[in-house]
Amino acid sequence: MLDDVQNLDLGVQKQLLQVLDRGSYSPVGSDRVLTVTCRIIFAMTDDPDVLMQRGQLLKDLRYRFGACAIGIPPLRERRSEIPLLVHRALKRCPQQTGVDGPTQFTDAALALLCEGEYTGNVRELEGVVLCAYLFARDQGLAEIGVQHLPAELTPRLEYKRRGDPEKNRLVVERVLQITGGNVKKAAQRLGVSRNTVTTVRGGRQSGRPSSSGD
């Protein structure tokens, strides 16, 4: 598999084209010609036709793989896959870091991970998981919580009275983290009653906040 093929110099792409056409190559610094039998997968950041128009992809190389191009939607368009990818990344953390750490996520943390935009797609998601793993491990925790995730994953800290209950719960969780668990301060920051914060925190939100005063 050749990743980010569009970053290869066009001269190198020509050499690659020769390998594909002839099934042979010469190692660097050698006059020997070796044969190769394999299938090559090219990975690119953009549509190959767009890259070709920009001059980043050799036309003959583009035509070489013809219609065998598969477009993979960005991660934000296939959020159902995020839990599986998150848990796979977490299992790899001990091997990557050489240290044991948390083995699971809290429900709130997992839900927040599923809300991310991930412009860097799977690589970005794996980086987020690795950092969260180390932060939680440093605190001696067995679970990765909302507080271990980067702030950019947090939805806007706005409680919507008729908004999605789960998103409201994530907002309340984050504000409670910011206020050190102080329900009164969290309620003041969100502009809702203390009872609302307590209710949402306990997962008993009905879809709109309590009418009781702050």
Structural domain contains residue 30:
yes
* Alpha-carbon distances, residue 160 vs 172, 177, 190, 191 (angstroms): 11, 19, 9, 10
Q: Which residue has the higher pLDDT, 154 or 30?
A: 30
pLDDT of 155: 62
Indicate the residue type of 143: E
User: Domain of 214?
Assistant: 155-214
Residues 86 and 145 in one domain: yes
pTM: 0.66
Residues 18 and 43 in one domain: yes
Residues 55 and 118 in one domain: no
Structural domain count, the chain? 3
Residues 105 and 128 in one domain: yes
Structural domain contains residue 199:
yes
Residues 80 and 140 in one domain: yes
**Which three-class secondary structure state does DSSP give residue 27?**
coil
pLDDT of 211: 38
At 138, the pLDDT band (50, 70, 90 cuts) reads very high
CATH of the domain at 124: 1.10.8.60
Q: Give tens-digit pLDDT for 188-212.
A: 888 899 999 888 877 654 444 343 3
Give CA–CA dist 169/65, Å, rounded: 48
Helical ranges in 55-193 per DSSP H? 59-64, 82-97, 107-113, 121-138, 165-178, 183-190
At 95, the pLDDT band (50, 70, 90 cuts) reads very high
